[in-house]
Amino acid sequence: MAEATTATPPKSKSKPATSAFEMPKFEIPKFEIPKVEMPAAFREFAERGVAQAKDTYEKMKAVAEEATDVLETTYSTATRGASDYGLKVIEAARTNTNAAFDFAGELITAKTLSEVIELSSAHARKQFEAFALQSKELSSLAQKVATETAEPIKNGVNKAFSKVA
């Protein structure tokens, strides 16, 4: 019969497990990364790229700050204009309401039908004139608000285009 030879297992760098359910622990080999000198042309190219990126960032930051200022100015102008417009509408409503109450008081004192018709036509004429004047004022105010609101945007866009050109 052939003799069985028992070979001894090769030695490994792993540490034996302390229990039957533990994984063996292996050492991770250490690799050294060789130091390579960068070519001067590549280093200069990278430095120029970094400098250009910093310059571009600074320009974009300045433009963003200017845009923020323009928006703040625009919003404050629009808010003030909307407030003025709203106050003008309230003033017109108050005037029209007072005129309606005055007309109702005059109608109560009328004694004849012809007097009622005369008061009605006079009131209608006054209200039409008041409406035309109020419409003109509101239209003028709306145009003024739109122009004042658009002015900072227009100036900001012109300034940005002049920097680009």
**Would the pLDDT of 10 be above 60?**
no
Residue 88 is predicted with a pLDDT of 95
Residue 34 belongs to some domain of the structure: no
Cα-flanking dihedrals φ and ψ of residue 15, to 5°? -95, 140
How many distinct structural domains can be found in the chain?
Answer: 1
Residue 120 belongs to some domain of the structure: yes
Residue 144 is predicted with a pLDDT of 92
* Separation of alpha carbons 8 and 14, rounded Å: 16
Residue 4 belongs to some domain of the structure: no
Residue 145 belongs to some domain of the structure: yes
Residue 140 belongs to some domain of the structure: yes
Residue 90 belongs to some domain of the structure: yes
Identify the band that residue 20 occupies on the pLDDT scale cut at 50, 70 and 90: low
Domain interval for residue 88: 54-164
pLDDT digits (tens, 9 = 90+) for 122-159: 999 999 999 999 999 999 999 999 998 888 888 877 77
Q: What's the rounded mean pLDDT across residues 27-54? A: 83
The whole-model pTM stands at: 0.59
Residue 28 is predicted with a pLDDT of 79
Residue 33 belongs to some domain of the structure: no
- Annotate 100-140 with DSSP letters as a single string: HHHHHHHHHH--SHHHHHHHHHHHHHHHHHHHHHHHHHHHH
| Mean of all residue pLDDT scores within the chain | 84
Residue 135 belongs to some domain of the structure: yes
